[in-house]
Each structure stands twice: as C-alpha cells, then as structure tokens.
C-alpha cells in the first residue's frame, strides 16, 4: 500500500474509551487470551490483526460480553468503558450491548424487511417516540451506512434479498441505529468483493467522527487503510500495539515484522 499515506496520517490523542487490563479468556481448558492490556481511544479506528486463531475475535467479543453466550468461555481481568467495569455484577450485558454495537463477519440481516432490520434496535430500546421518529432514525442510520439511496424505494423488501455488500452495510446501519458509542466489527469485509469492501472502509472512516471503532481484520492492507491504531495478536498474546503507521513501517517486535512481511500467519 501507500506507505507515505500511512506515515503522514495524523493520530489524534483522543481520550481513552476502553481500557483493558490483564484480560484472560479461557475456552474450557484452552487459554485463548493471555494477559492482554490495551487502551482503545475514542473517535479512533483501532485494528486488530494477527493470524487465524490468535484470539483477536475472542478479545473483540469480550468488549461487549458476547462471550457470555458461550457456556465454556470464561473471562478474567478488567475491562472498563469510560471507567466502568463492564464485567461488574451490576452491569446488564443487554444495556452494555446497546452502548457497544457489533457488526459480524458474515452479513446476518434478520429475515425481515429492510426497515424492520434497522428499526429493531431502536424499537426494543424505545428510542423512537412515534412512527415518524422511527422513520427518521431508520433513514439516518441507512444514510450513515451509505445504503439509503440503494434501498429507499424498497424498505419493505426482505433484508436477506440484498447483495452481500448491501447486507453488510444494512447490518452496519442496524448497528448504528441504536446510537452506540463503540462499534465492534469482526472482519466485516471478509465476505465482500473489493468494491463493497471499499464502500465499507469509506464508511468506517466516516463513522470515526462519532464512534470509537474496533475492527478485526485479516487484511493488513485494510488495517493500514482504515485504522489509526493497530494491535497485533499472536497465539493469544498482544504482541504489539501502537500507531498504525509505526506498526507497519517500523515494528518493534520481530514477530510483528514477520507477520506483516508475510513470513508467519
């Protein structure tokens, strides 16, 4: 990729949104995440890269407690969002997930209409007072996800009838419709073609204005293109975490260098 562009990218010193300290995750007997410390900044795109099975998705799912749905998963350590421990007993994961939205690897629209897909979150969280309010929320979310023009004439059509790239953008619209503060994206482009990928990446860059975005990706080019901060995971360890430009041009750890030059992973 364009190395100059990466180097010149300015990184704002934003406030810390998510602070993770000493996070350990076990799947049964497997120690999937080993003592990870990471600070994720607000209004920043943070990329998690690393070879398959290195724990980056697992760690991402810790941030909105999606690992709770897996019976054998056990999370230890301290993850704070705005200084609040999200694994505190008083925290309801449902409330947390309204604050920390998620976009999944495979586009997974509900088998309902496009409108209902986006309106579902606002409905269950009571964000809309009336029908026209809801219409506004849906339109805003679809516009933000850069899919409004493509679907505005067929909001009643099933979301599952869209193309893969459109579905993924619909899922992003669904995630932003609930007005989260953090958006987690688990390989959002792995099922998309380059054109749809480019659209989603553009979208991620725009979302940075309002949200803290954490993206897991297998594509190092993508990480380089969209993120300001990059974390490299390997075998459950956070090997290196820093500004994207630095990670890709001048990594400190030899493992990072091996990975980004294609020798491991």
Minimum distance from residue 78 beta carbon to another protein (Å): 23
CA distance linking residue 137 with residue 47, whole number of Å: 28
The least CB distance from residue 97 to another protein, in Å, is 4
Measure CA 198 to chain center. Answer: 16
| Nearer of residues 174 and 225 to another protein, judged by Cβ | 174
Please check whether residue 177 is in contact with residue 154, taking contact to mean a CB–CB distance below 8 angstroms: no
Q: In what order do the strands lie in the sheet with 212-216?
A: 100-103, 182-186, 212-216, 45-49, 229-234, 237-243
Q: Which is nearer to another protein, 184 or 260 (CB)?
A: 184
Smallest gap, in angstroms, from Cβ of residue 122 to another protein? 9
For residues 212 and 184, the answer to whether their CB atoms sit within 8 Å is no
- Considering beta carbons, is residue 2 or 163 the nearer one to another protein? 163
Closest CB to another protein among residues 1, 124: 124
Q: How far is the CB of 126 from another protein (least distance, A)?
A: 11
Binding site for another protein (CB under 8 A): 64, 66, 69, 71, 94-95, 97-98, 101-104, 106, 108-111, 120-121, 124-125, 158, 160-161, 171, 174-175, 177-178
């Amino acid at each position: 990729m364009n190395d100059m562009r990466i180097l010149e990218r300015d990184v704002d010193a934003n406030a810390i949104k998510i602070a993770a300290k000493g996070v350990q995750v076990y799947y049964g007997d497997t120690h999937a995440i080993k003592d990870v410390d990471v600070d994720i900044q607000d209004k920043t795109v943070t990329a998690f890269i690393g070879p398959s099975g290195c724990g980056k998705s697992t760690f991402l799912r810790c941030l909105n407690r999606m690992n709770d749905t897996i019976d054998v998963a056990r999370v230890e350590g301290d993850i704070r969002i705005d200084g609040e421990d999200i694994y505190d007993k008083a925290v309801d994961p449902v409330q947390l997930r309204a604050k920390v939205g998620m976009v999944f690897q495979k586009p997974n629209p509900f088998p309902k209409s496009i409108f209902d897909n986006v309106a579902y979150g606002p409905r269950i969280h009571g964000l809309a007072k009336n029908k026209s309010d809801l219409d506004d929320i849906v339109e805003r979310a679809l516009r933000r996800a850069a899919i409004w023009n493509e679907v505005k004439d067929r909001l009643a059509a099933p979301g599952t009838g869209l193309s893969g790239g459109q579905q993924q953008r619909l899922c992003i619209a669904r995630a932003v419709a609930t007005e989260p503060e953090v958006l987690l994206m688990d390989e959002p482009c792995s099922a998309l073609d380059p054109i749809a990928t480019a659209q989603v990446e553009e979208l991620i860059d725009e979302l940075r204005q309002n949200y803290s975005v954490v993206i897991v990706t297998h594509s190092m080019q993508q990480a380089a293109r969209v993120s300001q901060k990059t974390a490299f995971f390997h075998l459950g360890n956070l090997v290196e975490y820093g500004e994207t430009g630095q990670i890709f041009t001048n990594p400190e750890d030899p493992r990072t260098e091996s990975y980004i030059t294609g020798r491991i992973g």
